[in-house]
Copies of this chain bind each other. A is one copy, B any other.
Amino acid sequence: MTKGAPIYNRVALIGLGLIASSMSHALRAKGLAGEITGHARSAETRAAALEIGLCDRVYASAAEAVQGADLVVLAVPVGAMAQVAAEIGPHLAPGCTVTDVGSVKQAVIEMVGPHMPASVSFIPGHPMAGTEYSGPHSGFATLFVNRWWLLTPGVDTDPAAIARLQSLLESMGAKVNSMDPAHHDQVLAVVSHTPHLIAYTMVGVADHLAQVSNSEVIEYSASGFRDFTRIAASDPTMWRDVFLTNKDAVLDILGRFTEELFVLQRAIRMGDGDHLFDYFTHTRAIRRGIIEAGQDTAAPDFGRSGPPPKG
């Protein structure tokens, strides 16, 4: 990676988990920030951040960490956003940009917006990237490469502030798009939040079965279930907050999911093979669209990773 001039002189990372630590690695690799300050509630996390070099300075208080920063990144669970915003609001430098990385946008705007001074540009954001790991050690510089980073700025936000933030995110490798916060939450309920809940549920069902032992489930989890367990291993705090704060959209999608599942369940019960075949054929086409959109590769990875097919 080549280094250019820093895009921000001082970036304050509030919360030092997977996203913030990956941002730090990416910012440093590309020389995008003059310096990086950080805050985490846990002394252990702060010590780790210094040791790994995520931050030049760490602070036990978020208010201190944001002082003099021209970019503040709120990278705490959605449920902690209101408290952090209230704490830093009075200490933000005039003209600075505040963004967040929460997976839900309407709730974050309601929590954070009222605490932002008029001189500050608040640009809500959501990097669509993650792994099932969390904490300051889990980050890596390429996490955002070729991944979407969605922004949901208000209509009155300074276009120059948006352009500057977008430039930073793109320099870390992300693809940036802006959308309405309500639409964001609906899209995410479909492509991420509800699938996560379903994966959690299926893993829980397997765990509760008396006839099939946990060790059997674990031993034979090669197909299908293995992907579910990966999803279901994501950070519990983050996901609790996602479901509590994107409640309406998730409940809507869950209702549709249950209806649809009942139709397939009925087809199984009635032995309606044509219905099942047509349904499964149609879903296959959607997968092809995803591969063509470049979100995934065509290499088979459903079982353990193997070489690509020859034909």
What's the Cα separation between A261 and B203 when bound, in Å?
11
Q: Which B residue sits closest to A179, measured CB to CB?
A: B216
Residues of the B chain whose Cβ atoms lie less than 8 Å from the Cβ of A237: 277
Q: A202 in the interface, Cβ–Cβ < 8 Å?
A: yes
Majority SS at the chain A contact face? helix
Q: Which B residue sits closest to A293, measured CB to CB?
A: B218
Residues of the B chain whose Cβ atoms lie less than 8 Å from the Cβ of A302: 130-132, 230-231, 234
What's the Cα separation between A233 and B227 when bound, in Å?
14
For this chain, the copies found in one complex come to 2
Write the nearest CB–CB distance from A286 to chain B, whole angstroms. Answer: 5
What's the Cα separation between A190 and B202 when bound, in Å?
8
Write the nearest CB–CB distance from A144 to chain B, whole angstroms. Answer: 9
Q: A222 in the interface, Cβ–Cβ < 8 Å?
A: yes
Residues of the B chain whose Cβ atoms lie less than 8 Å from the Cβ of A250: 268
A310: which of B137, B211, B226, B260 is its contact (CB, 8 Å)?
A: B137
A283: which of B207, B215, B256 is its contact (CB, 8 Å)?
A: B207
Which of A63-71, A89-97, A111-119, A238-246 has 4 or more CB atoms under 8 Å from chain B? A238-246
Asked whether, in the complex, the Cβ of A190 is within 8 Å of the Cβ of B206, the reply is yes
What's the Cα separation between A258 and B262 when bound, in Å?
9
A268: which of B132, B150, B244 is its contact (CB, 8 Å)?
A: B244
Write the nearest CB–CB distance from A80 to chain B, whole angstroms. Answer: 12
A284: which of B187, B217, B225, B236 is its contact (CB, 8 Å)?
A: B236
Residues of the B chain whose Cβ atoms lie less than 8 Å from the Cβ of A205: 190, 194, 253, 256-257, 260
Residues of the B chain whose Cβ atoms lie less than 8 Å from the Cβ of A194: 202, 205
Write the nearest CB–CB distance from A308 to chain B, whole angstroms. Answer: 8
Q: A83 in the interface, Cβ–Cβ < 8 Å?
A: no
Asked whether, in the complex, the Cβ of A148 is within 8 Å of the Cβ of B204, the reply is no
Write the nearest CB–CB distance from A192 to chain B, whole angstroms. Answer: 5
**Which residues 267-296 of A have a CB within 8 angstroms of B?**
268-269, 271, 273, 276-277, 279-284, 286-290, 293, 295-296
Q: A163 in the interface, Cβ–Cβ < 8 Å?
A: no
Asked whether, in the complex, the Cβ of A222 is within 8 Å of the Cβ of B138, the reply is no
Known: A221-B290, A224-B199, A265-B251. A260 touches B204 (CB 8 A): yes
What's the Cα separation between A219 and B129 when bound, in Å?
13
- Using A197-B264, A221-B293, A240-B273 as known contacts, list a sample of 12 further A-B pairs with CB atoms less than 8 Å apart, ordered by residue number in A: A129-B304, A130-B223, A130-B302, A137-B310, A138-B310, A140-B307, A148-B220, A217-B286, A230-B301, A232-B287, A233-B287, A240-B276
Interface, chain A (partner B; CB < 8 A): 48, 52, 79, 128-133, 135-140, 142-143, 145-148, 150, 183, 186-188, 190-209, 211-212, 214-234, 236-237, 239-241, 243-244, 247, 250-251, 253-254, 256-258, 260-261, 264-265, 268-269, 271, 273, 276-277, 279-284, 286-290, 293, 295-296, 300-304, 306-307, 309-311
